[in-house]
Amino acid sequence: MKLVTFGAVRAERPGIYVPGKGIAPLDPLLRSLGRSALEMNEFLSLLDVLQPEVEEALTRDDTVWIDEDSVRLGPPVTAPEKVIVAGGNYQSHVDEAAGMKDAPTPSEAIIVFKPSNTVIGPRDALKRPYNSEQLDYETEIGVIIGRGGSDIPLERAYEHVAGYCISNDVTARDLAFKEVHVNPMFQQMTRAKGIPTGSPLGPWLVTKDEIPDPHDLRLRCWVNGELRQNGMSSEMIIDIPHLIADFSRAMELSPGDVIMTGTTTGCGAFQDPPSYLFEGDVVRMEISGLGVMETPVVDG
């Protein structure tokens, strides 16, 4: 099942996208089942129970369908409590950043937070901050939490996953490393990754039953039609169940939380010469099984 939100910014409503049919608004589906309307995070918390009922309701002749091209798609999760980044979680990206093959990897996941209001829809504009000349893209699998919890056992981690989407962990490199030459402690990762509009998500949330192995997906990214990233999720240093178990020891996870799981090689900072994002650029990301997300860049 593919979950979407649609409508005006900050007023999106949840729906179900079915290829070839369009978007079925979730609220009338739930009412037809004798249930109350739910926001997306609430729906995700009950997904294990409600998914079979909703899938059955979609087969009815009276289901209302909306053309997906006639509405704005919002981020699949419009109000996540947390957006958590697993930094340095692909070996090829660690290697390119270190400038060496088989570079040392962290013993545990590096945690960086993005503000929850940085999420935008798959076609929304990414605004380059006026104070950054090094805006960069990072194609990542976004894991969306369904059932929340803390101290989640490794063997039960997937029980807490609602599904997956494409995510762009946008990073302003110059804001991150402006004073690192003075002292390595002076990294500003939250400043660099927390920029407004810096978390494009989409085009939909694909429920976990449609993705048998999230560690066997191809991640690709084009900028203005030029292929920049082309890697496999099997490169993850710390896999998704271990990320969930580890993060849930550091914090309580909540329904709708987004975990960005790391990126492969080919970011703009590591092109020769480096190539960053500016107004007029278009970033196209594709992950097998999760769809395509195409984001225009404008100056803030």
pLDDT at 142 over 90: yes
Q: Specify the higher pLDDT residue, 259 or 182.
A: 259
pLDDT score recorded for residue 65: 97
Domain ranges of the chain: 2-74, 83-299
Give per-residue pLDDT as tens, 145-175.
Answer: 999 999 999 999 999 999 999 999 999 999 9
pLDDT at 200 over 90: yes
pLDDT at 218 over 90: yes
Q: What is the mean pLDDT of the chain?
A: 96
Range scoring the smallest mean pLDDT among 83-87, 174-178, 290-294, 295-299: 174-178
pLDDT at 102 over 90: no
The domain defined by 83-299 carries CATH number 3.90.850.10:
yes
pLDDT score recorded for residue 194: 97
Which of 116-140 are b and which e, b meaning 16 or more Cβ less than 10 Å from the residue's Cβ? bebbbbbebbbbbbeebebbbbbbb
Distance in angstroms between the alpha carbons of the first and the last residue of the chain: 35
Question: pLDDT category, 101, cuts 50, 70, 90?
Answer: confident
Whether the CA torsion 128, 9, 139, 292 is positive or negative: it is negative
Tell me how far apart the alpha carbons of residues 136 and 281 are, in angstroms, rounded to a whole number: 11
Spatial neighbors of 67 by CB under 8 A, at least 6 apart, are: 22, 23
Question: pLDDT category, 187, cuts 50, 70, 90?
Answer: confident
Q: 């580890």: which residue's tokens?
A: 246
Q: Classify residue 154 as left (phi > 0), alpha (psi -120 to 50) or beta.
A: alpha
Q: What is the pTM of this model?
A: 0.96
Cβ atoms 252, 148 nearer than 8 A: yes
Give per-residue pLDDT as tens, 26-77.
Answer: 999 999 999 999 999 999 999 999 999 999 999 999 999 999 999 999 999 9
Contacts of the segment 224-231: beta carbons below 8 A, 24+ positions apart: 224/281, 224/282, 225/284, 228/137, 228/266, 228/267, 228/268, 228/271, 228/275, 229/137, 229/139, 229/263, 229/264, 229/265, 229/266, 229/267, 230/264, 230/266, 231/90, 231/92, 231/264, 231/265, 231/266
